[in-house]
Structure 1
């Protein structure tokens, strides 16, 4: 992409995302809805001012990595661990139900082979951490019981989804399933999640010491971005989504960070607070770009807009929404918490789009099915935040 095209595309994304995000917020909807709608308006679906491009996709991915960093900064490892069993139950049901229900429905309704239908269902097992946590953060609910269950379930969801996708990818490429490589991938992901936050905290002690010797402004924001980039790369190297790298850095910076070494090393609150504050403008600038790009990735013209085509799309969307929502209802004995968790698990967002794109590249998902799949992902991405916003509003009343 030429520099003139890039800067103009970025200008349109930033301005349209801000305008429609503000409008959405003033109408009582999550700003995420306005940002995704902005992408649909300026993208190939309507005005065609901005088209999907690998450069823009990388900027959008950086936006969601920064958003997960911000969420990680507010996350308590202790509270996240306490919600582990509930989160695991929600995550596993949230994978099994869409995989089976959407896979079977696509096999019969779209007349595609069983393996293709399995890949179709696999793409709808994802949960977008970024979208739901953005809505929760706007309502100061990220550190609630439901917030920790949602975060834990979404992380587990993505990890299991990556393992499942990798297994299907290997099978589609080689024609055989390797249990050994799948188990090795799982071990690598577990090692990354366990080891990263303490490693981040260790690096922070070193950078705090170097801070005393720094004379050039901007040291804190440089440290944050360097850590996020390093651990996003490490996450990808370990076979996990890069967004978990940003989340791991946030947990390492968190004021609620706990480890066995806390009794020996004083928590550097003042320095970590400076690091968090220096990163906030980056989060506020880049995270909306991701949500706008989700809308840009859609091309509604590829859809069958006949009556039967629309009914088929609505039927698959209903199954995709219901499967995740029902899984969330197992989270708690409190009915309002159940509804919050169920609603937050609905959006597929960036993870679902990555799965769909891999299926298209492999030739497992054909153009017609790809358009339907992307539209279902988009509809869940719009419906989920609206459901969550409505549920949170009822809870506040």
Structure 2
């Protein structure tokens, strides 16, 4: 029952922090992220990232991405699929090459440096989705490109991680747990996206229509959450982020007559409990241990983590005929790091590829880049031409 007190504390503090952030003209997400740092191990140590907090956080990111899918235009996503792939590819190449080279120059071995580049090739679009929703930009062509690029980025990240694990094995380094072959992983992901097409086209409309006929309170909302959680679970099984599965579940349900009703029902549920815990959990990962001795490395990698995505993804957008302003929006929307970066860093740490000190530094850089991303995205959105907004 002690968790109930923790949950109460998180909800009170994130509500107040979001209020102050909005009054200062800063995205509310920033206030919620900072609360996690203040009450977590980095400062007051009131709250730790235990199993219950992690569980609520996982549900929070799933609901957030489901809502993002509900507000997305499927035709717009398909229309901007090609530029999304270009943005994702260039946004992976830049951090792998540049951050890998800088890490090698800093004194890491070639294998360690390459691994650091792979860590920061990942993008977590969950934070950007929250900001895009707050400023009503999910339905723009820039928003569609960011979301599409995030999906492609996740797939590329899985491929790079699988290749990196194979490389570690060839060097005689054992990673934690057994890892499936790359070919099998890709086959499973192809099957997942094939199932996603069936879900959008036939399964979701049928299930939602069926739920309306059930003599049960909130049956339509319950069915939508079954689809959401089921898709998140399947995405996780095939090696993708559960957030990606939830996003496509949102798109599938959005193509039914129940779109607006569900947004009104699910959004209060997410914002009232689970989504604030997700944002706080990001800050709870931060620790200030060994901060002084790694300050130069942390600052350098944080700057590069932001610039490589901003420039890499922005250049990809520019090559896809977006304006400079729109390219900046797309580049800033891809800066945040998250689940895939944390997972990759953990694998490297468990394999003995990184020391405790280096691992703590990588985690801190991931969190700092995630916190900085909304600060860059907001002013970029404000400069976006009115014609591209809904």
TM-score, structure 2 length as denominator?
0.89
Residue aligned with 2:241, SS:
coil
Alpha-carbon distance in structure 2 between the residues aligned to 1:173 and 1:232: 29
Q: In the alignment, which of 276, 280, 297 is matched to residue 288 of structure 1?
A: 276
Residue aligned with 2:181, SS:
helix
Q: Answer whether contact 1:220 1:278 (CA < 8 A) is retained.
A: no
Runs of 5+ consecutive residues of structure 1 not aligned to the other structure: 256-267
Which digits, 9 at most, give the CA deviation of each residue in 1:211-257, with x for residues without a partner?
A: 354333121222122112211121122222111111121111124xx
Cα separation, partners in 2 of 1:217 and 1:113, compared to 1, 3 Å: same
1:314 aligns to 2:299 (yes or no) = yes
Q: In the alignment, which of 148, 155, 159 is matched to residue 152 of structure 1?
A: 148
Which digits, 9 at most, give the CA deviation of each residue in 1:341-390, with x for residues without a partner?
A: 11111111333223222322222222111111111111111211101111
Cα separation, partners in 2 of 1:209 and 1:155, compared to 1, 3 Å: closer
User: By how many angstroms is 1:209 displaced?
Assistant: 4.6
Q: Answer whether contact 1:9 1:50 (CA < 8 A) is retained.
A: yes
Which is further off, 363-372 or 348-357? Answer: 348-357
Alpha-carbon distance in structure 2 between the residues aligned to 1:10 and 1:359: 32
Cα separation, partners in 2 of 1:87 and 1:185, compared to 1, 3 Å: same
Cα separation, partners in 2 of 1:318 and 1:208, compared to 1, 3 Å: closer
Which digits, 9 at most, give the CA deviation of each residue in 1:190-211, with x for residues without a partner?
A: 3312421432553334434543
User: By how many angstroms is 1:396 displaced?
Assistant: 6.6
Alpha-carbon distance in structure 1 between the residues aligned to 2:128 and 2:209: 37
- Match of residue 234 from structure 2: 234
User: By how many angstroms is 1:31 displaced?
Assistant: 1.1
Residue aligned with 1:75, SS:
coil
Residue aligned with 1:305, SS:
coil
Q: Answer whether contact 2:212 2:220 (CA < 8 A) is retained.
A: no
Alpha-carbon distance in structure 2 between the residues aligned to 1:353 and 1:288: 19
Alpha-carbon distance in structure 1 between the residues aligned to 2:6 and 2:262: 30
- Match of residue 304 from structure 1: 291
Number of equivalenced pairs: 375
1:387 aligns to 2:376 (yes or no) = yes
Which digits, 9 at most, give the CA deviation of each residue in 1:274-298, with x for residues without a partner?
A: 3343222222232221111000011
- Match of residue 169 from structure 1: 165
Structure 1 stretches of 4+ with a deviation exceeding 6 A read none
1:70 aligns to 2:73 (yes or no) = no
Alpha-carbon distance in structure 1 between the residues aligned to 2:140 and 2:222: 31
Cα separation, partners in 2 of 1:204 and 1:51, compared to 1, 3 Å: same
Q: In the alignment, which of 324, 332, 353 is matched to residue 364 of structure 1?
A: 353
Cα separation, partners in 2 of 1:212 and 1:130, compared to 1, 3 Å: closer
Alpha-carbon distance in structure 1 between the residues aligned to 2:79 and 2:137: 17
What is the RMSD of the two structures over their aligned residues, measured on CA atoms? 2.2
User: By how many angstroms is 1:169 displaced?
Assistant: 2.6
Alpha-carbon distance in structure 1 between the residues aligned to 2:88 and 2:182: 19
1:61 aligns to 2:55 (yes or no) = no
- Match of residue 327 from structure 1: 312
Residue aligned with 1:329, SS:
helix
Alpha-carbon distance in structure 2 between the residues aligned to 1:176 and 1:83: 42
- Match of residue 125 from structure 1: 121
Q: Answer whether contact 1:120 1:365 (CA < 8 A) is retained.
A: no
Alpha-carbon distance in structure 2 between the residues aligned to 1:289 and 1:361: 26
Q: In the alignment, which of 102, 105, 111 is matched to residue 102 of structure 2?
A: 105
Q: How do residues 158-237 of structure 1 correspond to structure 2 at under 5 angstroms?
A: 158-173=154-169, 175=171, 181-199=181-199, 202-237=202-237
Q: Answer whether contact 2:76 2:144 (CA < 8 A) is retained.
A: yes
Which digits, 9 at most, give the CA deviation of each residue in 1:156-193, with x for residues without a partner?
A: 1111102211222344356589xx93233223223312
Which is further off, 58-67 or 346-355? Answer: 346-355
- Match of residue 259 from structure 1: none
